[in-house]
Amino acid sequence: MNSGETKAASKTILVVEDDPRIQKALYRLFTAEGYGISNAPDGSAGLESFRAMTPDAVILDLMLPGVSGRELCRTFKTASPDTPVVVLSAVAEVADKVLLLELGADDYVTKPFSPRELLARVQAAIRRSDRSRPDTHVVSFGDVAVDFPKMEVKRSGAVVTLTAHEFKLLKFFLDNAERVLSREELLNDVWGYNFYPSTRTVDNQILKLRQKLEVDPTNPKHFRTVHGAGYKFVF
Amino acid sequence: MNSGETKAASKTILVVEDDPRIQKALYRLFTAEGYGISNAPDGSAGLESFRAMTPDAVILDLMLPGVSGRELCRTFKTASPDTPVVVLSAVAEVADKVLLLELGADDYVTKPFSPRELLARVQAAIRRSDRSRPDTHVVSFGDVAVDFPKMEVKRSGAVVTLTAHEFKLLKFFLDNAERVLSREELLNDVWGYNFYPSTRTVDNQILKLRQKLEVDPTNPKHFRTVHGAGYKFVF
DNA sequence: TTGGATTGTCACTATATTGTCACTCTGTCA
DNA sequence: TGACAGAGTGACAATATAGTGACAATCCAA
């Protein structure tokens, strides 16, 4: 199964890159981790996408046809200083250490880059930007409070222990509240695409969440069953 | 990025840096966030300013004409151990970055650096120094006291010897207390982006910290494992 | 109301993750 | 150059937890 890492849960990344091979590689790299990817082959498309989708992070190649990558980076940072921008650049470009400061980029990776490093840097940038929005850290429903960075759940003050998997499932429910989620969808998004346990597994994990988080697990208020369809979380 | 952050509110930062381009860039970066900036182009000017203005933080370039940056760093830390010093250094200057901590520096950023990272590190350093005025440089948990400037750890008075690496890991845990840290995150932040040992390595270092700092290493109170997710430090 | 399908629930087992140790490798210092 | 310390690796044991299957309860449609 997958590494047990918490998935990105619908974070979207805008990739501004003209080389289709790199585009493709980045697409594979990030979708495998659960991120959504939007591609823009040049500056003007990048700008357009940026405005249309408000991505959670931007990966920007400095060497672009048309609008200069540097110009673009400044524009992004002016329009939305909170959105992290990670720059891809050839070594020679970054040799000038001042450049990055002026651009306002959050981080950079020099080509040829290690996919793992890029992934790590983008994730770190997203984490940093998330941390400055503290309101997203804690979510509550009923007498339950969920603290994501601490991976901790409390019921009227008392800590409830959840396993990593239960936590991941809970997060998915919270991220998709009010929507009916089929077992398939849950298996794909929480368990991962290359892993197919029986659907009983899902019921089992739901059961555990109910036992741990519902006032009356037999009459669930939040983790509702939608007979013949799946489950639905309501606040 | 830090729209949610509290603004610097008249905090002043002393920048000791001879390259005027970096000076200018730092000026823009930090004034935009509401900090006051004072520039010193060399060591003696830096020392003078430091005494005259007692800054809230210092950004120090290790490569300076005149007085050695390292000397200067020690002087700062001796004169006023509570004032955070963040060092700028070229990668080549220090083979082992951990050594910088021995200078007494609170943090370091290698050139060419990402501006957001520098900003984040300086802010973090200031926050830490603000948190507990009287004993900024000492953090305690259980029967353990960690003295950062001295790079020394004591357990009920007795000195415990930590390796530079163990110390760095400990520092990262303390800086991110209560948060669940994945092995990946630990590897990236403590070991560095371009070095990928197996994840077993992490477990091993944790084991050593537990053996050296936990009352009962078999039942760790502070360095907790979060099964399927990583580790978490709690006070 | 009844019967098949779906879901709730439990105990058991298989599996993945982590703890721990001993060994190797590398660089440092005398 | 040899001893030494620290770091990384791999093997194995110890745990935690996820998955399975059986059976009971419930739902829905005819």
pLDDT in tens, B4-46: 333 445 688 999 988 888 888 888 888 877 788 888 888 888 8
What was the pLDDT predicted at A5?
38
Q: What is the C-alpha to C-alpha distance for residues A145 and A139, in angstroms, rounded to an integer?
A: 6
Which residue of chain B comes nearest to A110, CA vs CA? B112
Q: Which residues of A spanning 189-208 put their CB closer than 7 angstroms to strand C? A: 200, 203-204, 206-207
Q: pLDDT tens across A144-158, in order?
A: 999 999 999 999 889
- Mean of per-residue pLDDT scores for chain A: 83
Residue A10 phi/psi, 5-degree rounding, is 70, 25
Q: What is the C-alpha to C-alpha distance for residues B109 and B206, in angstroms, rounded to an integer?
A: 25
Query: What pTM, to 2 d.p., does this model score?
Result: 0.70
Which residue of chain B comes nearest to A168, CA vs CA? B229
What was the pLDDT predicted at A66?
65
Contact B116 A105 (CB under 8 A): yes
Q: pLDDT tens across A31-76, in order?
A: 877 788 999 998 889 999 999 988 999 999 887 776 677 888 888 8
Shortest Cα distance, chain A CAs vs residue B61, angstroms: 13
Q: How many CB pairs under 8 A join A and B?
A: 95
Looking at strand C, which nucleotides approach a protein CB closer than 7 A? 6-11, 16-22, 28
What was the pLDDT predicted at B31?
82
Residue B94: pLDDT band with limits 50, 70, 90? very low
Residue A123: pLDDT band with limits 50, 70, 90? confident
